[in-house]
Amino acid sequence: MGAGDPAGPAGSLSDLPAVHELAAALSDAPHALAVNAARRAIEQHRAAIRSGSEPSANILATARAQLVALTRPSLRRVLNATGVIIHTNLGRAPLATAAREAAEDAATGYSNLELELETGTRGSRHAHVEALLTELTGAEAAAVVNNGAAAVLLATASLASEPDRAIIVSRGQLVEIGGGFRIPDVVAQSRSRLIEVGTTNRTRRSDYERALEANPEAVIMRVHQSNFRTVGFVEDVPIEELCALGAAVIDDVGSGVLADASGIPALGEEPSLKRSVAAGAALVCCSGDKLLGGPQAGILIGRLDAVTAARQHPLARAVRIDKLSLAALQATISLYRDPRLAREQIPVLAMLDQSEDDLTTRAELLAQAIGPNAAVQIGRATAKVGGGALPLLELDGPVVAIGGAGRSPQALAAALRQADPPVIARIHDGRVILDPRTLTDEEARQAAAAVAQVLG
């Protein structure tokens, strides 16, 4: 060995072993991985020594910990105890069992993604969900892409990209959604002129009529204010009146309430795909991974000519959906054929539909599983839908609150994020909150085990 012993203490820089010596002590790991872990461990100890803090007594243990961290997948399952149902940072909607099984089946081997089994000729991947979507919404045709923003981009590009074509949008609907994605930028990418009508808070039918008189070939675009609301002195034009103006209408309904099948009162505030289709919109766009409760996807439904134009646009291939998401989406949409089944088996709908009794039972299970501890109490807090949906809806319910325990709430929340699996909580009124609304019973037990270990 050199100056340092990997199995011994490292109290000074001269005590640190060479990288190759520490890597050799990790003989059970591939060489490149062992070298990487050794470098990280040595740098960690070197930084501790230079800062004057006490390093770990055993640098080999640090290297082994680094080895574990390096071999752990970066994308991992976490437990969502935040109470935010459609949490963008946590992957938005969790999938129904049927959707997970469908994705696994599609991933196991080959599939008839673009093959007509009856004729043996090339088929369309849209066909796997088109019949379901037209059945549930009354649309003439349907197509799917890889996300909701792509659906809006493809709709504008396919319907409003001809020379001198324009898109008319209310000023109150020139919104920005997550990630800095702005409606004016979408219009610009479609190579169309943007015509703004009305004001931020009030847009009338006459505003659209004047714009169409000057631009008879223009397309009207309606954008649902899915992630915010304007209240007070406001006015807008219903989709039925917009479609009656005679121009092609693109209706971006945002979150995606599929038909009227869910039967959940809270969803009544969101525009349904079925209503927009019945009104006569050329294309209706929505996301698959928000209120619809499926995988990340973008859905376009509407008139046959408009959907055909979207499918044939060169951009369609760049934004096409993959087979795993398509399989999960097909399984999710199939559940909507039975409203009761959809409410029970699609997690987003089930969370919105949970009763006070069910939430109380799970909160008590969570608290009891943590074990007797003065820092743990059952209280009340407000959950949110999240994901840019139903921004005004507040879901009051029981929660498990953890306070004190000899550490700050920020430190406690950070420790829970290091659990296996990580537990993602929120901080409210100086306490760490675990909301049972976004946990299953089994997840509540896992979260409780993590809390009990952290409280120690």
Tokens coding 280: 């006569």
Asked whether residue 2 carries a pLDDT value surpassing 50, the answer given is no
Q: What's the pLDDT tens digit per position in 60-112?
A: 999 998 998 898 888 999 999 999 999 999 999 999 999 999 999 999 999 99
Q: Are 171 and 203 in contact (CB under 8 A)?
A: yes
Q: What's the pLDDT tens digit per position in 281-334?
A: 999 999 999 999 999 999 999 999 999 999 999 999 999 999 999 999 999 999
Q: Which pTM was predicted?
A: 0.89
CA distance 248 to 216: 11
Tokens coding 327: 């399989």
CA distance 264 to 347: 13
* pLDDT at position 233: 87
Q: Distances from the Cα of 347 to the Cαs of 85, 333, 440, in angstroms?
A: 9, 13, 10
* pLDDT at position 387: 83
Confidence of residue 1 (pLDDT cuts 50, 70, 90): very low
Q: What's the pLDDT tens digit per position in 115-138?
A: 999 999 999 999 999 999 999 999
User: Which residue's entry shows tokens 């599983």?
Assistant: 369
Among 204, 215, 221, 236, which Cα is nearest to 282's? 221
Rounded to an integer, the average pLDDT of 236-242 is 96
End-to-end CA distance of the chain: 39
Among 396, 426, 424, which Cα is nearest to 409's? 426
* pLDDT at position 334: 97
Percent of the chain predicted with pLDDT > 70: 94
Return the higher-pLDDT residue of 229 and 184: 184
CA distance 118 to 121: 8
Strand ranges in 189-290 using DSSP code E only, listed in sequence order: 193-197, 219-223, 249-254, 283-287
Confidence of residue 206 (pLDDT cuts 50, 70, 90): very high
Q: Are 281 and 275 in contact (CB under 8 A)?
A: no
If one counts every other C-beta atom within 10 angstroms of the C-beta of residue 114, the result is 14
Return the higher-pLDDT residue of 76 and 2: 76
* pLDDT at position 456: 77
Asked whether residue 165 carries a pLDDT value surpassing 90, the answer given is no
Confidence of residue 7 (pLDDT cuts 50, 70, 90): low
Whole-number mean pLDDT of the chain?
90
Q: Distances from the Cα of 266 to the Cαs of 156, 171, 269, 428, in angstroms?
A: 30, 27, 6, 24
Rounded to an integer, the average pLDDT of 185-212 is 90
